[in-house]
Structure 1
């Protein structure tokens, strides 16, 4: 998910805790823990500062997003609470544990995926059933914030716990629909990937047969529509590309499958899941020397 959504997750966790018997210091520690732990897996973005071999695409959402690091991050925030707030309470460990777990697990549901099982597996786990920026989640939190300020008779922590239940239901409904569509299209292609649209209940199905890649817009309520049909120059040897642009090798390993481009100007590969308006967000290439 994007940074704003992860921040909202942290605030949502803070709001969902009953703070009636907490001191001011405990509330401060709770806010620090819930928001900080909701963001900490993305600390891997700093790795691009020393990336000289084009590995950042694999490092980002890699080991820091592993399910096996959840208790490690939780211990870290327990120590930070002890250091900064002089508080030693297992309650904060479990808040951090929950916040990190929500972060890394929610990232699995979008097309970018995570190294959820690293270091025991370098497979990029991705469902593609929830958009990276999910406006439904934003809307649900916004409504909860408004109600919490206007309806004082409602306990804030109960309101936000109910909001969390609605978010979980939304993710479940999205994922069930995405799974059904994936299974419907799977028999027609050698390889299939799924990417959720910004519009709820709408998906892009990316299917590959040989050198042809179809991008289909579909939902359970509408008939599937072919948006793009791409041709991949798959018979080209990619070693020279990988040699000149190491990021291309990483992208090839990271993506479920790629489209190979070989024209008069460029030789490269891109991930068709992020193909919009004639180009992909993830495109690694080399420029050809003009004669």
Structure 2
């Protein structure tokens, strides 16, 4: 997910805790662990500062997003909370664990994916059933905030935010059931297949590769799918020279489920077709011949 969504997740998690008997210091500790826990896996962005080997694509959303590091991040945040706000108990560790877990797990549902199981495997785990920026999440959280801020209902605020979480989890479940059904139906048509969710709920793009041809089909379970692009991949092209001159290209091939290879005599390159929009992909690496 994007940074704004992760921040909103942290604030919504903070709101879902019953703070009736908490001191001011405990509330501050809670805010720290929920919001910082919702952001801390993305600390890997600083690796771009020293990336001279073209490996950032693998480092970002890599080991820092591993499920095995969740208790490590939680322990660090709990120590900071206890030291800064003089609080005691296991709540800060447990709530930080939940915040980090939500961050790492929510990221596997969009097409970018994460190194969820690093260091066991470097493969990116991705379902592609939720867009990186999901406006449904924003709308549900905004509705919860508006009810708490302006509503006159009898529900305490923490129950409202708990309902918000239930609705968001239900949205992920509904999207994922649809996406996995679509993928299963597509596997017999292609050698390799991936999925990318649209901003409109229930709408997906199937990206299928068969004998050097990549087909993008957009639609839903209810409307069917229509081909929106056909991309030729030059599978016989020699990529050794590209990799030698552009390390990021080799990293992209390692990172993506599959790529489209371009070789038109003037340049050679690779791109990820899951992010193909308006005639090009924003994840692409080339070199001139």
Band the TM-score falls in, shorter-chain normalisation: over 0.9
SS of match in other structure, 2:201: coil
Aligned pairs for 1:42-191 within 5 A: 42-152=42-152, 153-191=154-192
1:187, distance to aligned residue in structure 2 (A): 0.5
Which residue does the alignment assign to 2:277?
A: 276
TM-score by length of 2: 0.98
Count matched residues.
288
SS of match in other structure, 2:38: helix
Gaps of 5+ in 1: none
Which residue does the alignment assign to 1:194?
A: 195
SS of match in other structure, 2:269: strand
On the 8 A contact 1:78/1:88 being kept in 2, the answer is no
On the 8 A contact 1:245/1:286 being kept in 2, the answer is yes
For 1:166 and 1:156, the matched residues in 2 are separated by 15
- 1:227-283 deviation per Cα after TM superposition (whole angstroms, max 9, x unaligned): 000001110110100010000000000001000111244210000000000000100
For 1:11 and 1:264, the matched residues in 2 are separated by 52
SS of match in other structure, 1:187: coil
On the 8 A contact 1:81/1:88 being kept in 2, the answer is no
Gaps of 5+ in 2: none
Q: CA RMSD in A?
A: 0.8
- 1:5-33 deviation per Cα after TM superposition (whole angstroms, max 9, x unaligned): 10010001000000010111111111111
1:185, distance to aligned residue in structure 2 (A): 1.2
- 1:166-215 deviation per Cα after TM superposition (whole angstroms, max 9, x unaligned): 00000000000001111111101111001111111000000000110000
